[in-house]
């Protein structure tokens, strides 16, 4: 038996192990930096994709097994879009790329990478399914010409489909729309790949949801599904399902266990079986859980991010989102009309600032600190390494809360001494969040009000997610106080979501902007706004790094 080797494709984006670009192989798991470098090289260029299939024919003659291999090649050309750095990062951080072994992950969000495909779209998304079916059909059931339909739909190049090659047992109502595969066209509508529900079926079908001709030969053009809009309309249900599953500790209950049945989970969490089962099914559909005939289990992501003790647990932020942000967002309409925060409407009281709201009860304070800690822990490495900070000997993290960033800084810069400065209510509560381990370098905590009290001496003042809480007037007070104690050459490091000047950032950033509206007197600001604020207080050489993570970083120095 022989199988010909196919020409190495220009680009292979395989599962999560190997990436090759122009035959140069990066033999390590694809991390975000690699993915970024690789995608930047594809940017705006056309590449050839050669896909092939080998079909093995087996027959037995005189008790000898004979095999014969037929193989086929097909070339498809893919032109990648010329994307901004921001969009590339958005794509990489969407969690969608690189999930198709041997192919480009260009479905769904991956569609934004691609300007055009010349040839068969299905060749580019992993196994060349369409090509394979065509060749199988040619070999075993040569189709009469009218059986092959040549279909074209929006931005996706035409695809030959095999509508009439089924074994007759299946009916076309088995086509299900695959939402994740939708791609926005310029009108904001979506073209949708259809996948065949092959349960109980021996045949394979592939195709796209396209207007089919009816029996009179008249094209019945069904309205396009505005999938993006439908997804957004579903968004609040999806968020709430995640929040409630977290609150009921479903992910905690499933951690380190084999699959569990709905009835067992319902018993564990003290909830109804019918309600629990629906919630579990919704979580499985959202990709948060795996569902098999044996029951439900956590996905790897659920273990890492959704359990309360996961390595990068977002549990604290999810509970804060459910208990605090959800009631605030319910009043978004009033916030937009009035242009101000809505704490009084959501919680029935009007405090001077949002921190008085958070710290009036131990429970709310603990919840808020856990929320801050989860995001700080997830972003700390990118914030700490965005610039080389090794020249600084001491740093003071103003409003440093639980010390998550401080701990990362002392790991990366062993000669750096970091003091976390925050309100007394916070500092009194930090012990719960300290990392365990004897070899942890010490971080010092100091309490005070940065608008009134003496600031600790330091070479570098850090303000992570602090300035966005305040209006310009308060920021001027804070920056002038820092400037007064900052010696020449010392600096300020800001960690914030930085808006671009046209305010056309990815949606996470702009939704965060609404988040600030409903709960603070502050706002997210652009790089030039931060530069302007800093320069007014004698800070120059303002450098901005977009990390692609949830926080960007700005460094400046005092003259
Ligand atoms: C949005 S949180 C950010 C926490 C942390 N820097 C981070 O990025 O996760 C703002 C922090 O500023 C602190 N803060 C607010 N007002 C303060 C004040 N007047 N003096 C000191 N800290 C203050 C809060 O207690 C809180 O920990």
Q: Give residue 502's pLDDT.
A: 86
For residue 271, is it within any domain? yes
423 lines ligand 1 (CB under 6 A): yes
Q: Give residue 135's pLDDT.
A: 66
- One domain for residues 539 and 406: yes
User: Which residues, 6 or more positions from 180, have their beta carbon under 8 angstroms from its beta carbon?
Assistant: 107, 108
Structure tokens at 552: 């960007």
Q: Does residue 77 contact residue 119 with C-beta atoms inside 8 Å?
A: yes
Q: Does residue 493 contact residue 483 with C-beta atoms inside 8 Å?
A: no
Decide if 185 is catalytic. Answer: no
Structure tokens at 90: 């958005």
Instruction: Quote the CA–CA distance of 212 and 220 in Å, as a whole number.
Output: 6
Which of 133, 35, 128, 120 shows the shortest CA–CA distance to 78? 120
Q: What is the pLDDT along the chain (559 residues), one digit of tens a residue?
A: 333 333 334 444 433 333 344 444 443 445 566 666 666 767 777 766 665 555 666 666 666 666 666 666 666 777 777 777 777 777 666 654 444 444 455 655 666 667 777 766 666 665 566 666 666 666 666 555 555 454 444 444 444 444 433 333 333 222 222 222 232 233 333 232 222 222 222 222 222 333 344 445 555 567 778 888 998 999 999 999 999 999 999 999 999 898 999 999 999 999 999 999 999 999 999 999 999 999 999 999 999 999 999 989 999 999 999 999 999 999 999 999 999 999 999 998 766 778 988 898 999 999 999 999 999 999 999 999 999 999 999 999 999 999 999 999 999 999 999 999 999 999 999 999 998 875 666 899 999 999 999 999 999 999 999 999 999 999 999 999 999 999 999 999 999 999 998 888 888 899 999 999 999 999 999 999 999 999 999 999 999 999 889 999 999 999 8
Structure tokens at 348: 């029935």
| CA nearest ligand 1 atom 19, residue | 449
Q: Give residue 121's pLDDT.
A: 67
DSSP secondary structure string, 416-463?
-EEEEEE-HHHHTTGGGGPPP-TTPPP-EEEE--TTTSPPPP-SEEEE
- One domain for residues 308 and 426: no
- One domain for residues 304 and 408: no
428 lines ligand 1 (CB under 6 A): no
State in Å: Cα 391 to ligand 1 middle: 25
- One domain for residues 158 and 27: yes
Q: Give residue 17's pLDDT.
A: 32
For residue 40, is it within any domain? yes
- One domain for residues 137 and 248: no
Q: Does residue 524 contact residue 551 with C-beta atoms inside 8 Å?
A: no
State in Å: Cα 345 to ligand 1 middle: 23
Instruction: Quote the CA–CA distance of 286 and 265 in Å, as a whole number.
Output: 18
Residue of 406, 423, 471, 521 with the most ligand 1 atoms within 8 Å of its CB, for mutation: 423
461 lines ligand 1 (CB under 6 A): no
- One domain for residues 144 and 22: yes
For residue 340, is it within any domain? no
Instruction: Quote the CA–CA distance of 310 and 249 in Å, as a whole number.
Output: 13
Instruction: Quote the CA–CA distance of 408 and 496 in Å, as a whole number.
Output: 17
- One domain for residues 392 and 537: yes
Residue of 378, 407, 418, 422 with the most ligand 1 atoms within 8 Å of its CB, for mutation: 422
Q: Does residue 356 contact residue 521 with C-beta atoms inside 8 Å?
A: no
State in Å: Cα 462 to ligand 1 middle: 11
- One domain for residues 291 and 146: no
Q: Does residue 161 contact residue 206 with C-beta atoms inside 8 Å?
A: yes
What is the CATH classification number for the domain harbouring 495?
3.40.50.150
Is the complex ipTM more than 0.95?
Answer: yes
State in Å: Cα 172 to ligand 1 middle: 58
What is the CATH classification number for the domain harbouring 276?
1.10.10.10
Distance from first CA to last CA of the chain, Å, rounded? 75
For residue 454, is it within any domain? yes
Structure tokens at 106: 């260009």
466 lines ligand 1 (CB under 6 A): yes
Per DSSP bridges, beta strands 190-191 and 206-208 are unpaired
Q: Does residue 389 contact residue 381 with C-beta atoms inside 8 Å?
A: no
Catalytic residue among 16, 71, 353, 500: 16
Structure tokens at 43: 């940017």
- Helix (H), strand (E), coil (C) string for 290-343: EEECCEEEECHHHHHHHCCCCCCCCHHHHHHHHHHHHHHHHCHHHHHHHCCCCH
Domain boundary among 270, 296, 313: 313
State in Å: Cα 236 to ligand 1 middle: 29
The total of structural domains in the chain comes to 3
400 lines ligand 1 (CB under 6 A): yes
Q: What are phi and psi of 348, to 5 degrees?
A: 75, 20
- One domain for residues 59 and 145: yes
320 lines ligand 1 (CB under 6 A): no
Any idea how long the chain is? 559
DSSP secondary structure string, 160-198?
EE-TT-S-SS--GGGEEE-GGG-EE-TTS-EE-EEEE--
Neighbours of 232 (CB within 10 A): 11
State in Å: Cα 422 to ligand 1 middle: 6
Domain boundary among 287, 313, 339: 313
Instruction: Quote the CA–CA distance of 358 and 363 in Å, as a whole number.
Output: 9
User: Which residues, 6 or more positions from 399, have their beta carbon under 8 angstroms from its beta carbon?
Assistant: 421, 422, 450, 463, 464, 465, 466
For residue 434, is it within any domain? yes
For residue 88, is it within any domain? yes
- One domain for residues 159 and 269: no
- One domain for residues 137 and 284: no
- Helix (H), strand (E), coil (C) string for 328-345: HHHCHHHHHHHCCCCHHH
402 lines ligand 1 (CB under 6 A): no
Domain boundary among 266, 285, 313: 313
| CA nearest ligand 1 atom 14, residue | 399
User: Which residues, 6 or more positions from 220, have their beta carbon under 8 angstroms from its beta carbon?
Assistant: 211, 212, 213, 214
Q: Does residue 513 contact residue 524 with C-beta atoms inside 8 Å?
A: yes
What is the CATH classification number for the domain harbouring 78?
3.90.950.10
| CA nearest ligand 1 atom 20, residue | 449
Neighbours of 195 (CB within 10 A): 17
State in Å: Cα 399 to ligand 1 middle: 3
Q: 159 lies in which domain range? A: 11-166+179-184
Q: Does residue 387 contact residue 410 with C-beta atoms inside 8 Å?
A: no
Instruction: Quote the CA–CA distance of 483 and 398 in Å, as a whole number.
Output: 13
For residue 231, is it within any domain? no
For residue 225, is it within any domain? no
Instruction: Quote the CA–CA distance of 401 and 332 in Å, as a whole number.
Output: 27
Nearest-atom number in ligand 1 for the CA of 373 is 9
Nearest-atom number in ligand 1 for the CA of 466 is 10
Structure tokens at 254: 């499933």
Instruction: Quote the CA–CA distance of 455 and 487 in Å, as a whole number.
Output: 13
- One domain for residues 396 and 542: yes
Q: Give residue 43's pLDDT.
A: 74
358 alpha-carbon distance from chain centroid = 28
């Amino acid at each position: 038996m022989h199988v010909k080797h196919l020409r190495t494709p220009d680009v292979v984006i395989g599962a999560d192990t190997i990436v090759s670009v122009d035959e140069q192989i990066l033999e390590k798991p694809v991390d975000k930096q690699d993915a970024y470098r690789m995608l930047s090289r594809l940017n705006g260029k056309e590449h050839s994709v050669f896909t092939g299939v080998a079909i093995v024919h087996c027959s037995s003659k005189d008790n000898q097994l004979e095999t014969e291999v037929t193989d086929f090649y097909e070339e498809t050309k893919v032109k990648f879009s010329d994307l901004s750095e921001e969009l590339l990062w958005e794509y990489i951080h969407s969690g969608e790329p690189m999930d198709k072994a041997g192919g480009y992950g260009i479905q769904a969000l991956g569609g934004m990478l691609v300007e055009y495909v010349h040839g068969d779209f299905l060749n580019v998304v992993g196994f060349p399914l369409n090509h394979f079916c065509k060749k199988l059909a040619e070999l075993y059931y040569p189709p009469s010409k009218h059986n092959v339909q040549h279909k074209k739909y929006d931005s996706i190049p035409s695809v030959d489909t095999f509508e009439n090659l089924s074994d007759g047992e299946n009916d076309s109502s088995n086509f299900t729309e695959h939402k994740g595969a939708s791609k926005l066209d310029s009108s904001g509508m979506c073209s949708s790949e259809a996948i065949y529900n092959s349960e109980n079926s021996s045949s394979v079908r592939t195709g796209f949801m396209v207007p089919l001709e009816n029996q009179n030969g008249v094209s019945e053009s069904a309205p396009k599904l505005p999938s993006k809009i439908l997804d957004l309309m579903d968004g609040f249900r999806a968020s709430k399902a995640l929040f409630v599953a977290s609150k009921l500790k479903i992910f905690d209950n499933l951690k380190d266990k084999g699959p569990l049945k709905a009835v067992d989970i319902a018993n564990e969490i003290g909830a109804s079986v019918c309600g629990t089962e629906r919630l579990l099914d919704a979580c499985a559909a959202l990709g948060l859980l795996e569902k098999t005939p044996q029951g439900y289990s956590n996905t790897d992501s659920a273990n890492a991010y959704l359990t309360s003790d996961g390595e990068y647990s977002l549990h604290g932020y999810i509970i804060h989102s459910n208990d605090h942000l959800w009631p605030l967002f319910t009043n978004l309409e009033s916030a937009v009309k009035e242009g101000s925060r809505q704490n009084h409407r959501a919680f029935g009281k009007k405090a001077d600032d949002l921190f008085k709201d958070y710290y009036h009860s131990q429970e709310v304070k603990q919840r808020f600190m856990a929320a801050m800690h989860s995001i700080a822990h997830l972003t700390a490495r990118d914030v700490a390494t965005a610039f080389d900070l090794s020249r600084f000997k001491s740093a003071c993290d103003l409003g440093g809360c639980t010390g998550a960033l401080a701990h990362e800084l002392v790991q990366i810069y062993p000669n750096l001494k970091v003091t976390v400065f925050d309100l007394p209510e916070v500092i009194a509560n930090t012990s719960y969040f300290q990392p365990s381990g004897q070899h942890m370098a010490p971080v010092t905590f100091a309490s005070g009000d940065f608008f009134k009290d003496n600031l600790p001496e330091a070479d570098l003042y850090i303000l992570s997610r602090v300035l966005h809480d305040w209006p310009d007037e308060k920021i001027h007070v804070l920056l002038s106080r820092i400037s007064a104690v900052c010696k020449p050459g010392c600096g300020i490091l800001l960690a914030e979501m930085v808006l671009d000047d046209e305010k056309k950032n990815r949606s996470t950033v702009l939704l965060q902007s609404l988040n600030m509206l409903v709960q603070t007197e502050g706002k997210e600001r652009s790089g030039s706004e931060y530069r302007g604020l800093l320069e007014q207080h004698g800070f120059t050489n303002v450098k901005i790094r977009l990390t692609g993570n949830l926080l960007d970083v700005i460094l400046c120095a005092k003259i």
